[in-house]
Amino acid sequence: MTQQLSQHRHISFTAHYTGYIWYKMGISHPVFATSKGKFLAKLVHPLESWAEKNVGGSMRTTLKQRHQMIDEHLSELIETHPDLQVLEIACGLSPRSWNFRQKYPEINYRELDLPDMAKTKTHALKMIDESSPEVLTGDIFSEELAQVFAVFDPSKPLVIISEGLINYFNLAMLETLLKGINQYGSQFSELHYLSDIYPEPVKNRLANFIWTCSKLLKFMSRSAFTFHFQSPQELKDFFQNTGFQIVEVKQPKLYFSEQPYSKTEEHLGDLVWMIHAAKKNSVS
């Protein structure tokens, strides 16, 4: 039988770039740094350097921000819930599972991606640790997602992680994904979702330039890549309408400041935000 190709398969090329950038930042392992990623990083280096000087940030600076914020929130969740289970969807060549298995050897941390990337990632993980579990595969927009959730113990809390993913979907697709996560996660006493998102660059003086770059990424990835929300409150309302009870939005300008973090519903101009959405379920 011929395997049906995912309409989102072209997004995977960005995983090679991000995997290489994380390696260059010193937070990853050499096995996650591919020759394709090195080529892409070299190709866009001049544009990245220009953006950091003139836009106030670039793809590689937001990669560092979003990865650090998600990692720190995941660590906090594990400290609060030592039996926490983790599912990272569209994991790509992220070093997160490797890093967290070293820090928390008993953790049930599973990853999910499209078949080709899952095979590549599994091979890389096995090179570091032969006992690493295989990366799961499945269509996150179908009932196959239910089979992925079935891998976990419903008596323990679960956190879903995605990074560099949801801007590739239009709002209708994002709504479908979030409702699916809530539906299949309803069997767990607590469900958490950690993700990054690129808001509309309405507070940036080069917003038109950023929009133009996003159209290029949309063309290259053959996806619906776009920016969605103009304010944290708009994002919160959307996520709550899909079933989440609590939604927090972290903006780097406040998150990485020396002052205590204070909530605001104003778009502060950051290129990327982090989301922590959660719900508690009545499980008999």
Domain extents for the chain?
Answer: 57-280
Looking at residue 13, its pLDDT comes to 55
pTM of the model: 0.86
Round to whole Å and give the CA distance between 174 and 224.
Answer: 11
Q: What's the burial of 184, exposed, middle or buried (CB within 10 Å: 0-12/13-18/19+)?
A: buried
**CB-CB neighbours of 178 under 10 Å:** 21
What's the CA gap between 150 and 145, in Å, rounded? 9
Contact criterion met (CB below 8 Å) for 109 and 97: yes
Residue 49 pLDDT: 64
pLDDT at 283: 60
Residue linked to tokens 């740094």: 33
pLDDT at 240: 97
**Per-residue pLDDT in tens (0 to 9) along the chain, 284 residues:** 344 444 444 446 577 778 888 888 888 888 888 877 777 777 776 666 666 666 666 676 788 889 999 999 999 999 999 999 999 999 999 999 999 999 999 999 999 998 888 999 999 999 999 999 999 998 898 889 999 999 999 999 999 999 989 988 889 999 999 999 999 999 999 999 999 999 987 765 544 544 455 444 444 445 456 788 999 999 999 999 999 999 999 999 999 987 776 777 888 888 889 999 999 987 65
- Joined together, the tokens standing for residue 249 give 């939005």
DSSP secondary structure, 42-94, as one string? HHHHHHHHHHHHHTS--HHHHHHHHHHHHHHHHHHHHHH-TT-EEEEET-TT-
**Which DSSP category does 150 fall into?**
T
Q: Reduced to 3 states, what is the DSSP secondary structure of residue 82?
A: coil
Secondary structure (3-state) at 113: strand
Identify the CATH assignment for 57-280 out of 3.40.50.150, 3.90.950.20, 3.30.70.270, 3.40.50.920: 3.40.50.150
